[in-house]
């Protein structure tokens, strides 16, 4: 067991947790009994109580079971934006003893068949703006029924904040018998049967992003999901008085656990944003006295770039943190100056339903994954020999813990490669390269497959990106390896310049600056200024898309 970090464990926090052996939907039922009239959800000015939320979940669960024939273990796809309806659908699917298959709402029509075929989902709950994408599946019979939600129905008569177009859009008529209006499902009067699932039943099958190959479904039970719900609540010191700002997408495991499931477990109010909006985020922090905000680095960069940010009262914030990509040091320092808070970074994957590592809020290190959480055994090993490595040595991160998934859905060969036994324990091979320091804090170096090999030198893009963020003109950066006839690969940076620097700074200026900041072999040889970077639905920069586009360009250009 890795214990080096125990000396820096937060005070008054236990080192081990007893995870409830109850299904996830029980968390909502308990909070509805404890805080029936308290606001569970705040949505652009409307407050939805725990009693109301629970009643809608029961109604939809009854419809799924009694009208659509959903039974224990069936997979049900959930394909919509952050909204009260997403929360209701998620908990209703679980309450119906079925399995949630959350789908990225950025998926387009020709990508969807894979997920339905692979998961076996025959029923879906869909946002109305996505109906045209699922229509081919409905018309061919690949989907039996799709319940369709209009986000506008969840708004108050007079919204208190700027409402995105996708939420303001009026309901559209449904022209196929397999498309069921949300209101029809909720007013059917059908009650669900008593729940029969145990902690070891499947609960959620989130899919990996597919940025490293074919997407794979990760089998999570009620037990593995509960492990990280309770972990998030205890580690961050969340009390029933807490208020969460929910800006991460709920289909993604971090948003699902930290921004939806943990607040419900704790009896917190959580304010939902369907679209990221830095102004509305600041308004909500001030108005609702938000205490906890889990996000991604790109949101924090944009939040702090708001020229009006210092006019807002952000003093209620107690914990601000996230994962996905390291927060640039300069941004973390700006956040600290503004709020007095260190950015609490963590590390996790779809396979671990979010975090396995997080920084102690009272002793956080910037650009650091943190320390292994409750009951997590993490190791750094040589990727080839699996020999365990020591402090400062870079190798593959392995994890064993209560939140680790059972395996990939219908992927026996992948499962053989994904796990390894060490000291009698089943460890998951993350595929991430990392190291830990003398205090047991882990640092992510990069994806093993992302390394750039430039003339035999190893270049880790995240390290180069971190340095580029220190340049005063750089707002965002993504570094990739591109083919080079002499060096094998060379370093290219795609950069979004700050608005007031566009036209004032050249690529040559940044390259010259970079040579003063890092070893020559790490320096970008090429820089391309862009207006935007491709993003995943969870807000991660899709470096692989840029890298593959570059390689295709160079293949075409080659004689």
Burial 266-297 (b: 16+ CB within 10 A, else e): bbbbbbbbbebbbebbbbbbebbebbbbbbbb
- Looking at residue 111, its pLDDT comes to 86
Per-residue pLDDT of the chain (559 residues; tens, 9 = 90+): 889 999 899 988 999 999 999 999 999 999 999 999 999 999 999 999 999 999 999 999 999 999 999 999 999 999 999 999 999 999 999 999 999 999 989 888 988 999 999 999 999 999 999 999 999 999 999 999 999 999 999 999 999 999 999 999 999 999 999 999 999 999 999 999 999 999 999 999 999 865 445 789 999 999 999 999 999 999 999 999 999 999 999 999 999 999 999 999 999 999 999 999 999 999 999 999 999 999 988 899 899 999 999 999 999 999 999 987 778 888 899 999 999 999 999 999 999 999 999 999 989 998 899 999 999 999 999 988 999 999 999 999 999 999 999 999 999 999 999 999 999 999 999 999 899 999 999 998 876 667 787 766 668 788 789 889 999 999 999 999 998 877 778 999 999 999 999 999 999 999 999 998 887 888 999 999 999 999 887 777 888 899 989 988 887 654 4
- Residue 493 exposure: Cα atoms within 13 Å on the Cβ side: 29
- Work out the angle at residue 77's Cα, subtended by the Cα atoms of residues 74 and 81, and round it to the nearest 5 degrees: 150
User: Could you tell me the two tokens for 320?
Assistant: 């601000």
- Secondary structure of residue 355 in the 3-state scheme: strand
Q: Which helix (H) or strand (E) holds 403?
A: none
User: How many residues appear in the chain?
Assistant: 559
| Contact in structure between 473 and 506 (CB atoms under 8 Å) | no
Where do we find the tokens 């989130």?
206
Rounded to whole angstroms, the Cα distance separating 378 from 390 reads 12
User: Could you tell me the two tokens for 288?
Assistant: 């609702």
Of the candidates 454, 456, 517, the one whose C-alpha atom is nearest the C-alpha of residue 491 is 454
Backbone angles phi, psi at 75, to 5 degrees: -90, 135
Rounded to whole angstroms, the Cα distance separating 196 from 184 reads 26
- Looking at residue 559, its pLDDT comes to 43
DSSP state of 256: I
Of the candidates 352, 285, 353, 287, the one whose C-alpha atom is nearest the C-alpha of residue 320 is 285
User: Could you tell me the two tokens for 501?
Assistant: 């620097």
What CATH superfamily classification does 451-557 receive? ANL, C-terminal domain (3.30.300.30)
- Beta strands 419-422; 425-436: pairing state: antiparallel
Of the candidates 508, 503, 545, the one whose C-alpha atom is nearest the C-alpha of residue 209 is 545
| Contact in structure between 309 and 330 (CB atoms under 8 Å) | no
Rounded to whole angstroms, the Cα distance separating 117 from 489 reads 38
Rounded to whole angstroms, the Cα distance separating 278 from 306 reads 7
- Looking at residue 489, its pLDDT comes to 85
DSSP state of 310: G
Burial class (CB in 10 A: 0-12, 13-18, 19+), 170: exposed
Is the pTM higher than 0.95? no
Rounded to whole angstroms, the Cα distance separating 15 from 224 reads 18
DSSP state of 258: I
Burial class (CB in 10 A: 0-12, 13-18, 19+), 347: buried
- Looking at residue 211, its pLDDT comes to 47
- Secondary structure of residue 51 in the 3-state scheme: helix
**Where in the chain are the domains?**
45-197, 451-557
45-197 domain in CATH 3.60.21.10?
Answer: no
| Contact in structure between 303 and 282 (CB atoms under 8 Å) | yes
Backbone angles phi, psi at 469, to 5 degrees: -65, -15
Helix residue ranges, H only, 96-196: 112-119, 131-139, 165-168, 182-186
- Looking at residue 453, its pLDDT comes to 74
| Contact in structure between 17 and 374 (CB atoms under 8 Å) | yes
DSSP 321-345: EEESSPPPHHHHHHHHHHHS--EEE
DSSP state of 144: S
DSSP state of 422: E
């Amino acid at each position: 067991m890795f214990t080096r970090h125990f000396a820096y464990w937060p005070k008054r926090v236990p080192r081990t947790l007893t995870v409830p052996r109850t299904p996830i939907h029980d968390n909502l039922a308990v909070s509805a009994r404890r805080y029936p009239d308290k606001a569970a959800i705040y949505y652009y000015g409307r407050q939805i109580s725990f009693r109301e939320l629970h009643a809608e979940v029961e109604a939809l669960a009854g419809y799924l079971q009694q009208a659509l024939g959903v039974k224990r273990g069936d997979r049900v796809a959930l394909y919509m934006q952050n909204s009260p309806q997403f929360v209701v659908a998620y908990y209703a699917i679980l309450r119906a003893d079925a399995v949630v298959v959350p789908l990225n709402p950025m998926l387009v029509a020709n990508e969807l068949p894979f997920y339905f075929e692979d998961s076996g989902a025959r029923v879906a709950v869909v946002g109305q703006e996505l109906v045209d994408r699922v229509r081919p599946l409905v018309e061919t019979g690949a989907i039996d029924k799709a319940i369709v939600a209009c986000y506008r129905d969840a708004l108050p008569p007079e919204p208190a904040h700027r409402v995105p177009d996708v939420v303001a859009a009026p309901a559209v008529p449904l022209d196929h018998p397999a498309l069921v209006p949300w209101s029809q499902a909720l007013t059917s009067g059908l009650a669900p049967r008593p729940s029969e699932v145990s902690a070891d039943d499947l609960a959620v099958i989130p899919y990996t992003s597919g940025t490293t190959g074919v997407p794979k479904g990760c089998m999570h039970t009620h037990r593995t999901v509960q492990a990280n719900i309770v972990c998030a609540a205890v580690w961050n010191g969340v009390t029933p008085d807490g208020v969460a700002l929910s800006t991460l997408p709920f289909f993604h495991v971090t948003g699902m656990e930290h921004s939806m499931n943990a607040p419900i477990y704790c009896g917190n109010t959580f304010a939902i944003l369907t679209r990221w909006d830095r102004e509305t985020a600041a308004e909500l922090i001030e108005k609702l006295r938000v205490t906890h905000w889990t996000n991604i680095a790109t949101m924090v960069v944009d939040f702090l770039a708001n020229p009006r940010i210092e006019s807002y009262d952000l003093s209620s914030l107690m914990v601000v943190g996230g994962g996905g990509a390291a927060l640039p040091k300069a941004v973390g320092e700006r956040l600290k100056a503004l709020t007095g808070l260190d950015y609490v970074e963590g590390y996790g994957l779809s396979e671990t339903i979010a975090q396995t590592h997080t920084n102690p809020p009272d002793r956080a290190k910037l650009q650091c994954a943190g320390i292994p959480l409750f009951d997590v055994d993490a190791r750094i090993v040589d990727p080839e020999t699996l020999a365990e490595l020591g402090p400062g040595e870079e190798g593959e991160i392995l994890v064993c813990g209560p939140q680790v998934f059972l395996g990939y859905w219908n992927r026996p060969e992948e499962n053989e490669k994904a796990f390894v036994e060490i000291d009698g324990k089943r460890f998951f091979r993350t595929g991430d390269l990392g190291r830990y320091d003398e205090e047991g804090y882990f640092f992510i170096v990069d994806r093993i497959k992302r390394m750039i090999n430039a003339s035999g030198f190893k270049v880790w893009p995240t390290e180069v990106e971190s340095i580029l963020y220190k340049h005063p003109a750089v707002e965002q950066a993504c570094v990739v390896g591109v083919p080079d006839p002499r060096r094998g690969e060379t370093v290219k940076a795609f950069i979004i310049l700050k608005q007031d620097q566009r036209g004032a700074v050249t690529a040559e200026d940044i390259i010259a600056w970079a040579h003063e900041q890092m070893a020559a072999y790490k320096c970008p040889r090429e820089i391309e200024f862009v207006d935007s970077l491709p993003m995943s639905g969870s807000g991660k920069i899709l470096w692989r898309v840029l890298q593959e586009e570059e390689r295709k360009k160079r293949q075409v250009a080659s004689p």
